[in-house]
C-alpha cells in the first residue's frame, strides 16, 4: 500500500487524454470527445492523483474546489471525483491509498473542512468515513393525475420559453440566491454553468435537447426558472406516451414555483413526468390535489466526509442550543479521533478538542450523515451508530443538528 502511495502523482495536461480515457474505461463507458480531447475548464489537474504502471494510467482521482451550503452558512468543500482503479489493479488497496493521500493532503492544506462526493456504489466509501447526507427524490407520476390544488396562489406572472443565453442570464443570479438557504446545494461559477448547460447530442439518450423556461413578473423581473427535456413516444395503438424529464425548477416565490410546475405537468403529448434529481421533500407534493400520485423512490445523493471535525462543526449553525462532548471515532483520519467539545446555537458555534467525559459516542460516518441536518441522530442511535452516555444527549444533539430545510443536492459531479 505504501508502495502505491509513493507512486501517486497529479496528472499533467499532457497526461490528460490517457488519464481521462482510463477513468472512462474503469466505468465501462465511452468517453465524450469533448471531455478527453482537451482538459475541461472545470478540471483542476493540480488536485488530481493518478497511478501509473509504465506509461499506462491504472488509477485516477480528482478534487474540485466547491462551496457547499451547510445549515446557516456556506463552507469550502473538496468535491471528490474521477475515482477509478483499472480492472487489472482492483482489490489490491489502490483506492485505499488514494483516499488516504487525498484526505491527508486536504487536512494539511486546511482549505476545506468538508469533502463530498457522489458514489457509484453505496458499498465503497463508508470505510473512508463518508456517509450519505442528501437524498434524491427520484420523483415520477402520471401527469393526468398531477393537477395542482384548486386554491394554489398562481400570482400574476407568466412562463416564457427561452433560449439558453436568456435562461443563463436569469438563472445564474437566481440560483446564487436560492442555493444559500438549502444545505447540500453547491455554488456554480461560470465554469460549472458551462458544464451544466453542455448539451452533447451523444449524451441525450433519446431525449430532446434541453429546453428552458423562465417565470416573469408583470414588472419584468424574473422569479423562477426551469430546465427539462422531453422524450417522445407512442403506444402501439397510437396514443401519445411521452415523458417530460425535469432537470431543475427553482423559484424565489411560491406562485412562480407553482406556475412553472403547472406548465411542466401540462405539456401536450406527455403522459409521464420524471424528476430524478428533485428533492425527496420537494414542495411540489404539497401543491398537488392528489399527493399520492407523485411517486418517489429516493436514494442517496451527496456523500459527506468531515475532513476536520472541529472546523466543520464550528462552520455550521444549530437551530437549538447544544453544549456537549462528542467522542468521535475516526480510524481513517486519526487527527479527528477523540473528544470534541461542541457549543452551538443559531448565531454561531465553537468546537475544540477536550479531555472531558463524552456525552455521545459516534463514528465520523454518523457525524457526516447528520452534518447537513437531514439524517436524525435518534435514527442513527436506533441503528446502533450513536451511543448515548449522558441521558438526554441524543435529544439535545439531535434537535440541534436538524435543520428546517431538507438538505438536497441536484448537482452531480
Annotated catalytic residue, options 19, 125, 228, 257: 125
Q: With CB under 6 A as the rule, give the number of residues binding ligand COA.
A: 18
Choose between 119 and 389: whose C-beta lies nearer to ligand COA.
119
Q: Which of the ranges 48-56, 114-122, 193-201, 385-393 carries the binding residues for ligand COA, by CB under 6 A?
A: 114-122
Distance CA 75, CA 62 (A): 19
125 catalytic? Reply is yes
Nearer to ligand COA, 81 or 243 (CB): 81
The answer to whether the beta carbons of residues 307 and 106 sit under 8 Å apart is yes
Least distance from ligand COA to the Cβ atom of residue 366, Å: 19
Q: Is 25 in the site for ligand COA (CB under 6 A)?
A: no
Considering only 48, 84, 279, 336, the residue that binds ligand COA (CB under 6 A) is 84
Nearest distance in Å: CB 87, ligand COA: 8
19 a catalytic residue:
no
2: contact with ligand COA by CB under 6 A: no
* Minimum distance of ligand COA from residue 196's CB (angstroms): 19
- Site membership for ligand COA, residue 187 (CB under 6 A): no
Q: Considering only the stretches 122-130, 247-255, 316-324, 361-369, report the one whose residues sit in contact with ligand COA under the rule CB under 6 A.
A: 122-130
Q: Of residues 8, 26, 265, 351, which one binds ligand COA by CB under 6 A?
A: 26
Considering only residues 29, 91, 173, 202, which one is a binding residue for ligand COA as defined by CB under 6 A? Answer: 91
Q: Which x/- pattern over 30-69 shows residues binding ligand COA (rule: CB under 6 A)? A: ----------------------------------------
If the CB atoms of residues 134 and 406 are measured against ligand COA, the closer one turns out to be: 134
Closest approach, Cβ 129 to ligand COA, in A, equals 13
379 lies in the binding site for ligand COA (CB under 6 A): no
Nearby residues of 174 by Cβ (< 8 Å), 6 or more positions away: 222, 223, 224, 225, 250, 251, 252
Can you read off the three cell numbers belonging to residue 167? 435562461
Identify residues 291-330 at the interface with ligand COA (CB under 6 A): none
Window contacting ligand COA (CB under 6 A); options: 87-95, 194-202, 217-225, 271-279: 87-95
Rounded to a whole number of angstroms, the minimum distance from the CB of residue 347 to ligand COA is 37
92 near ligand COA, judged by CB under 6 A:
yes
Would you count residue 284 as binding ligand COA (CB under 6 A)?
no
Q: Nearer Cβ to ligand COA, position 119 or 361?
A: 119
83 sits near ligand COA (criterion: CB under 6 A): yes
Examine residue 393 and tell whether it contacts ligand COA (CB under 6 A): no
The end-to-end CA distance of the chain, in Å, is 28
Torsion of CA 385, 389, 394, 395, to 10 degrees: 160
Please say which residue, 24 or 193, places its beta carbon nearer to ligand COA. 24
Compare residues 116 and 139 and give the one whose CB is closer to ligand COA: 116
| Closest by Cα among 333, 339, 335, 387 to 361 | 387
Contacts of 298 (CB under 8 A, 6+ apart): 135, 136, 137, 138, 280
**Left if phi > 0, otherwise alpha if psi is -120 to 50, otherwise beta: which for 389?**
alpha
Least gap, CB of 330 to ligand COA (angstroms): 16
Please select the residue that binds ligand COA; options are 49, 57, 95, 304, rule is CB under 6 A: 95
Cell of 26: 474503469
5, 124, 207, 233: residue in contact with ligand COA (rule CB under 6 A): 124
Catalytic residues: 125, 413
User: Applying CB under 6 A, which residues contact ligand COA?
Assistant: 26-27, 83-85, 90-96, 119-121, 123-124, 127
Amino acid at each position: 500500500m505504501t508502495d502505491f502511495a509513493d507512486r501517486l502523482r497529479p496528472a499533467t495536461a499532457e497526461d490528460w487524454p490517457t488519464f481521462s480515457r482510463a477513468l472512462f474505461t474503469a466505468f465501462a463507458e465511452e468517453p465524450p470527445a469533448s471531455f478527453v480531447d482537451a482538459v475541461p475548464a472545470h478540471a483542476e489537474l493540480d488536485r488530481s492523483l493518478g497511478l501509473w504502471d509504465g506509461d499506462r494510467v491504472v488509477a485516477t482521482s480528482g478534487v474540485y474546489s466547491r462551496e457547499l451550503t451547510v445549515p446557516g452558512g456556506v463552507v469550502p468543500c473538496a468535491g471528490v471525483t474521477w475515482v477509478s482503479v483499472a480492472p487489472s489493479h482492483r482489490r489490491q488497496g489502490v483506492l485505499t491509498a488514494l483516499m488516504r493521500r487525498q484526505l491527508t493532503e486536504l487536512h494539511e492544506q486546511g482549505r476545506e473542512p468538508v469533502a463530498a462526493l457522489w458514489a457509484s456504489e453505496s458499498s465503497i466509501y463508508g470505510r473512508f468515513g463518508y456517509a450519505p447526507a442528501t437524498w434524491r427524490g427520484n420523483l415520477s407520476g402520471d401527469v393526468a393525475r398531477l393537477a395542482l390544488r384548486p386554491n394554489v396562489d398562481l400570482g400574476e406572472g407568466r412562463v416564457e420559453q427561452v433560449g439558453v443565453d436568456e435562461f443563463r442570464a436569469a438563472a445564474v443570479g437566481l440560483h446564487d440566491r436560492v442555493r444559500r438557504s438549502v444545505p447540500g446545494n453547491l455554488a456554480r461559477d461560470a465554469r460549472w454553468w458551462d458544464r451544466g448547460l453542455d448539451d452533447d447530442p451523444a449524451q441525450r439518450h433519446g431525449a430532446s435537447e434541453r429546453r428552458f423556461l423562465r417565470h416573469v413578473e408583470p414588472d419584468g423581473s424574473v422569479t423562477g426558472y426551469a430546465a427539462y427535456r422531453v422524450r417522445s413516444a407512442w403506444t402501439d395503438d397510437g396514443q401519445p406516451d411521452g415523458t417530460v424529464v425535469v432537470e431543475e425548477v427553482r423559484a424565489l416565490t411560491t406562485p412562480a414555483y407553482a406556475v412553472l410546475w403547472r406548465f411542466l405537468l401540462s405539456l401536450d403529448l406527455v403522459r409521464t413526468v420524471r424528476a430524478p434529481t428533485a428533492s425527496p421533500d420537494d414542495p411540489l407534493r404539497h401543491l398537488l390535489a392528489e399527493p399520492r400520485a407523485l411517486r418517489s423512490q429516493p436514494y442517496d445523493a451527496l456523500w459527506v466526509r468531515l475532513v476536520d471535525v472541529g472546523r466543520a462543526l464550528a462552520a455550521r449553525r444549530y437551530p437549538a442550543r447544544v453544549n456537549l462532548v462528542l467522542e468521535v471515532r475516526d480510524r481513517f483520519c486519526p487527527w479527528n479521533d477523540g473528544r470534541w467539545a461542541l457549543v452551538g446555537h443559531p448565531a454561531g458555534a465553537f468546537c475544540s478538542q477536550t479531555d472531558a467525559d463524552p456525552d455521545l459516542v459516534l463514528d465520523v460516518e454518523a457525524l457526516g450523515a447528520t452534518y447537513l441536518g437531514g439524517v436524525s441522530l435518534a435514527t442513527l442511535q436506533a441503528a446502533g451508530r450513536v451511543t448515548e452516555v449522558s441521558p438526554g444527549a441524543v435529544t439535545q444533539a439531535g434537535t440541534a443538528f436538524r435543520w428546517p430545510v431538507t438538505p438536497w443536492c441536484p448537482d452531480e459531479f
